[in-house]
Amino acid sequence: MNILTIVYFVAWLSVFVHYVRKHNNIKAYGTIVLSYVIYSFLSIIDYSTHAEKYDNITFFPFVYLFVLLIIALIPIKKYDDSGNLRLQRINPMVLYIVFSLFLISTLVVLPSAINRIQHAWETILASDDGASELYTEMHLRDSINANRNAGIWGFFNIVRYLLFEICVFCFFYYLTFPKRNKILIALLLGSFFFDIIIYF
């Protein structure tokens, strides 16, 4: 068992225990630190069962990772300490602009995506190794970053990719509005479902 993984686990456990004792509450910061405690504990188990894969573990990468994660958690700690639990409302016009860009991008890439889905099913059903061939093909396509060289379609695909997670988050925020556009909700849900089908 590598002593470094144990030291890393003890370091995160110490941070978590110190925070809970000081604040007498877990909050967002404590929850994230607790997840790091769990991950570091699982790393001990993983190392003990697959030690042959980790023959070059050194001290500095652990220190580097620990320090950077602590720095990344500073804004969350400040937020917890401020006690400001009010939800700052976003201007609805900003949401509508983001949703519009996302939906327009979806409409532009829709025909090509449907063709890709049809091609994928044909490849999968054509032979026993169809799924493996499709995976290799998609991996190669991603590795050459095809969207950058695909003209207007590639541009909208990039825009849609960048806005997807933002739109999912904003969608749930939009559902808290007292007045909601059901057509917009249906279009967004359809776009999200379409992404699930593409990734599948």
Q: What is the pLDDT of residues 142-170, one digit of tens each?
A: 544 555 555 677 788 888 888 888 999 88
Q: What is the pLDDT of residues 58-96, one digit of tens each?
A: 889 899 999 999 999 999 988 888 776 566 677 888 889
Domain segments of the chain: what residues? 3-82, 92-199
pLDDT band at residue 112 under the 50/70/90 scheme? confident
Which residues are CB-contacts of 95 (< 8 A; sequence separation ≥ 6)? 170, 173, 174
75 HSE (CA, 13 A, CB side): 2
Average pLDDT, the chain: 81
